[in-house]
């Protein structure tokens, strides 16, 4: 009986350790603001700000229009032009990092540029959204696994 109790306690301790390790990796995030370069964006990208976790990514960066199209083509991100008539609300990386921000800090409205998105229709959803502001030369990208 004592051996069974000891075995049960060992299994319980093992499960608690495994759950904590899993929770650490799921909640681990990478945050950067106004970074010069990162290895997962084109070399022409600058002033990079981002929030990345295992199943969620938000980033924005400065890049010229030609390089934006090159990058979006490489990632198979289909975009089309937008204008003030069909402007798009775009979530910024600050939605995940800023606690006391207002909407102008956490969202941007694209009025003149390019926009594309894809929503996964199977499983638990998710997808990507990408935008480019022709006036500021800023690209915005978000991805979620669900």
- 3-class SS letters over the chain: CHHHHHHHHHHHHHHHHHHHHHHHHHHCCEEEEEECCCCCCCCCCEEEEEEEECCEEEEEEECCHHHHHHHHHHCCCCCEEECHHHCEEEECCHHHHCCCCCHHHHEEEECCEEEEEEECCCCCCCEEEEEEECCCCEEEEEEECC
Share of the chain above pLDDT 70, in %: 80
Domain boundaries, the chain: 2-144
Confidence band for 42, pLDDT divided at 50, 70 and 90: very high
pLDDT digits (tens, 9 = 90+) for 78-127: 999 998 788 888 788 877 777 777 767 788 888 999 999 888 776 667 88
């Amino acid at each position: 009986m004592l051996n069974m109790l000891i075995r049960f306690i060992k299994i319980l301790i093992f499960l608690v350790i495994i759950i904590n390790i899993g929770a650490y990796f799921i909640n681990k995030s990478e945050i950067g603001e106004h970074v010069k370069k990162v290895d997962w964006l084109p070399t022409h990208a600058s002033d990079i700000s981002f929030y990345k976790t295992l199943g969620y990514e938000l980033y924005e960066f400065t890049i010229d229009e030609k390089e934006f199209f090159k990058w979006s083509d490489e990632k198979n991100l289909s975009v089309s032009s937008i204008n003030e008539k069909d402007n798009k609300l775009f979530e910024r990386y600050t939605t995940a990092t800023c606690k006391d921000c207002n909407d102008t800090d956490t969202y941007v409205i694209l009025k003149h540029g390019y926009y594309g998105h894809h929503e996964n229709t199977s499983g638990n959803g998710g997808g990507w959204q990408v935008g480019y502001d022709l006036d500021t030369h800023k690209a915005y990208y978000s991805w979620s696994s669900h």
